[in-house]
Chain A
Amino acid sequence: MTTVSNGVNVKALLDARDALKGAPEAAQFTWRATSKWQDGVHSTTRIQQFFGLGQEQNHKSEAVFEADHPEVFAAEDNGITPIEYLLVGLASCLTAGVASVAQNRGIQLRSVESTVEGNHDIRGILGADSDVRNGFNDIKVTFTIDADASEKDIEALVAQSQKRSAVFDALTNPTSVTVEVA
Chain B
Amino acid sequence: MEHVTTAVVGAGHAGLAASRFLSDRSIEHVVLERGEIANSWRRERWDSLRLLTPNRQSRLPGHRYDGPDPDGYMTAGEVADFIAGFAKVADAPVRTGVDVTSVRAGRTGYELETSLGPLGARSVVLASGACNRPVVPPFHTEVPASVVQVTPFDYAAPDRLPDGGVLVVGASATGVQLAAEIRRTGRPVTLAAGEHVRLPRTYRGRDVLGWMEASGVWDQRYDEIDDLTRARRLPSPQLVGSPARETLGLNELSALGVEIVGRLAAVRDGWALFSGGLRNVASLADLKMERLLDTFDAWAASSGTDAPPPERFAPTRVPASPRLRLDLRGGEIRTVVWATGFRPEYGWLHVPVLDDKGRLRHDGGVVGPGLYALGLPVLRRRKSTFLHGVEDDAREVIAHLAAAL
A residues adjacent to B (C-beta < 8 A): 137-138, 152, 155-156, 159-160, 162-163, 168-169, 171-174
State whether the Cβ of B277 lies closer than 8 Å to any Cβ in chain A: yes
Q: B280 — which chain A residues lie within 8 A by C-beta?
A: 159, 162-163, 168
B320: nearest chain-A partner, CB-CB: A138
Contact partners of B277 in chain A: CB under 8 A: 162, 168-169, 172-173
Given contacts A159-B283, A162-B280, A163-B284, contact A174 B262 (CB under 8 A): no
Q: Can you name 8 A-B pairs with beta carbons within 8 Å?
A: A155-B283, A155-B287, A159-B280, A163-B280, A171-B276, A172-B276, A174-B265, A174-B266
Q: Is the CB of A160 within 8 A of B276?
A: no
| Residue from A138, A152, A171, A172 having most chain B Cβ neighbours under 10 A | A172
Please give the distance in Å from B11's CB to the nearest CB on chain A: 35
Bound Cα distance A168, B262 (Å) = 14
Q: Which residues of A contact B284 (CB under 8 A)?
A: 159-160, 163
Which 6 pairs between the two chains have the least Cβ-Cβ distance?
Answer: A172-B276, A172-B277, A173-B265, A162-B280, A174-B273, A174-B266
**Which of B262, B280, B321 counts the most chain A CB atoms within 10 A?**
B280
Whether, in the assembled complex, B275 has its beta carbon less than 8 Å from a beta carbon of chain A, the answer is: yes
User: What residues of chain A lie closer than 8 Å to B99, measured between beta carbons?
Assistant: none
Give the residues in chain A near B321, CB-CB below 8 Å.
137-138
Give the chain A neighbours of B268 by CB distance below 8 A: 174
Contact count band on B: 10 to 19
Q: B341: shortest Cβ distance to chain A, in Å?
A: 19
Chain B: minimal CB distance from A89 (Å): 15
Nearest chain B CB to A10 CB, angstrom units: 14
Q: What residues of chain A lie closer than 8 Å to B287, measured between beta carbons?
A: 152, 155-156, 159
Q: Which residue of B lies closest to A161 (CB)?
A: B280
The A-contacting residues of B in range 257-293, CB under 8 angstroms, are 262-263, 265-266, 268, 273, 275-277, 280, 283-284, 287, 290-291
Measured CB to CB, the closest approach of chain A to B203, in angstroms, equals 18
A137: nearest residue on chain B (CB-CB)?
B321
Whether B290 contacts A152 by the Cβ 8 Å rule is: yes
* Cα separation A4 to B284 with both chains bound (whole Å): 24
Q: Is there contact, CB below 8 Å, between A172 and B275? A: yes
The residue in chain B whose Cβ has the minimal distance to the Cβ of A133 is B324
Q: How far is the CA of A174 from the CA of B287 in the complex (A)?
A: 27
Whether B275 and A173, one on each chain, are in contact in the complex, defined by CB atoms closer than 8 angstroms, is yes
CA distance A61 to B287 in the complex (A): 41
Q: Which residues in B have their C-beta under 8 angstroms from that of A138?
A: 321
CA distance A174 to B267 in the complex (A): 10
Q: In the complex, what residues of B have CB within 8 A of residue A162's CB?
A: 277, 280
**Complex Cα–Cα for A80 and B280 (A):** 28
Whole-angstrom distance from the CB of A169 to the nearest CB of chain B? Answer: 8
Residues of B within 8 A of A159 (CB): 280, 283-284, 287
Docked Cα-Cα span, A137 to B276, in Å, equals: 11
Bound Cα distance A156, B287 (Å) = 7
- In angstroms, Cα B287 to Cα A138, docked, is 23
Complex alpha-carbon distance, A168 and B321, angstroms: 17
Q: Find the residue from B262, B268, B275 having the highest chain A CB count within 10 A.
A: B275
Which B residue's beta carbon lies closest to that of A136? Answer: B276
B280 shortest CB reach to chain A, Å: 5
Q: With contacts A173-B266, A174-B268 known, what are 13 further pairs, Cβ within 8 A?
A: A152-B290, A155-B283, A156-B291, A159-B280, A159-B287, A160-B284, A162-B280, A163-B280, A169-B277, A173-B273, A173-B275, A174-B265, A174-B273
Within the assembled complex, what's the spacing in Å between the Cα atoms of A138 and B276?
Answer: 9
CA distance A165 to B267 in the complex (A): 23
Q: Which residue of the partner chain, among A137, A156, A163, A172, contacts B262 with CB atoms under 8 Å?
A: A172
Bound-complex Cα distance A23 to B116 (A): 42
Inter-chain contacts of A173 with B (CB < 8 A): 263, 265-266, 273, 275-277
B326 to chain A, nearest CB (A): 13
**Closest CB in chain A relative to B210 CB, distance in Å:** 25
Q: What residues of chain A lie closer than 8 Å to B263, measured between beta carbons?
A: 173
